[in-house]
Amino acid sequence: MRKIEVSPSILAANFANLGAEVKKIESIADYVHIDVMDGHFVPNLTFGLIVAKAVKRITNLPLDSHLMVDNPENLVDEFCEISEIVSVHYEATYHLHRLIQRIKEKDVKAFVALNPHTSVELLQDILMDVDGVLIMSVNPGFGGQKFIPNALNKIRRLNDIKRKTGLTFKIEVDGGINEETFESTLNAGVDILVAGSYVFGSEDPVRAIKTLKGQPKKISEG
Ligand code: DX5
Ligand code: ZN
């Protein structure tokens, strides 16, 4: 059976009580998704290293850090110290290859994130170096947005590339994931589901995560 991992985004959590929010998901989540926004790369500002380190201190879950910042080079080293996965945006750096190598040198999983308009085919010459691809299924910047259906097309194309090349990078999807949208992304070939409002906006975050971990009706053939 294929393992589906869930990475709840604390963007939708109650920041006045962040420790307790993270504890709610600790028994079942696979990661904590950390949405770092700088107010430049995306039109919103969230938090940085101080908050991420505070989360790291209170949980055993690995951190899945999603850097939505210009010049991610300035932040990656410190995020690598506390994360299992670091995602950097294709659109945010001139030297993606160098940045990916720098993350991997620290024994951290290097993922490349793509905005909705960025084609997966642009990754042809970097896919062999990455541990995963994060497909944005909303325009990054805010939680609670509607899933963009073309993300499914991109996930399928990526999965085709995996089949043809034999590469084993993971596919992660982020934005608008809920009980109505998650199955289609799994059918398209996703390994890791990020969910913010669906998990932390739920009265029962554990049940919400269990729903996302339910096996899809049909998994695309490998
Ligand atoms: C959006 C962030 C997402 C966001 C997802 O820029 O990268 O991780 O928290 O939130 P939902 O699940 O509410 O769409
Ligand atoms: Zn994210």
Helix, strand and coil percent figures for the chain, each rounded to 5: 40, 20, 40
Domain annotation covers residue 132: yes
What is the best residue among 64, 91, 138, 199 to mutate for testing ligand 1's pocket, by most ligand atoms within 8 Å of CB? 138
Whole-prediction pTM: 0.96
* Closest listed ligand to the CA of 193: 1
Is residue 138 included in any domain, yes or no?
yes
Q: 133 lies in a domain?
A: yes
Number of Cβ atoms within 10 Å of the Cβ of 59: 16
The answer to the question of residue 68 being in a domain is yes
Alpha-carbon distance of 196 to 212, in angstroms, equals 12
Which member of 30, 64, 131, 174 is catalytic? 174
Q: CA 104, CA 126: separation in Å to the nearest integer?
A: 13
Phi, psi of 32 (to 5 degrees): -115, 125
Ligand 1 pocket test, pick from 11, 91, 181, 190 with the greatest ligand atom count within 8 Å of Cβ, gives 11
Which residues in 4-13 are b (16+ Cβ under 10 Å) and which e? bbbbbbbbbb
Place of tokens 């998650």: 182
Alpha-carbon distance 215 to 181, whole Å? 14
- How confident is the model over 38-84, as pLDDT tens digits? 999 999 999 999 999 999 999 999 999 999 999 999 999 999 999 99
Q: Which of 137, 139, 148, 141 is nearest to 190 (CA)?
A: 137
203 part of a folded domain: yes
174 in active site:
yes
Distance from the alpha carbon of residue 165 to the mean position of ligand 2, in angstroms: 27
CATH of the domain at 65: 3.20.20.70
Q: Does residue 222 lie in a domain region?
A: no
| pLDDT tens column, 159-203 | 999 999 999 999 999 999 999 999 999 999 999 999 999 999 999
Ligand 1 neighbours, Cβ below 6 Å, are 9, 11-12, 33, 35, 66, 138, 140-141, 143-145, 174-177, 194-198
127 in a structural domain: yes
Q: Is 219 within the bounds of a domain?
A: no
- Print the domain residue range for 17: 5-213
**Number of domains into which the chain is organized:** 1
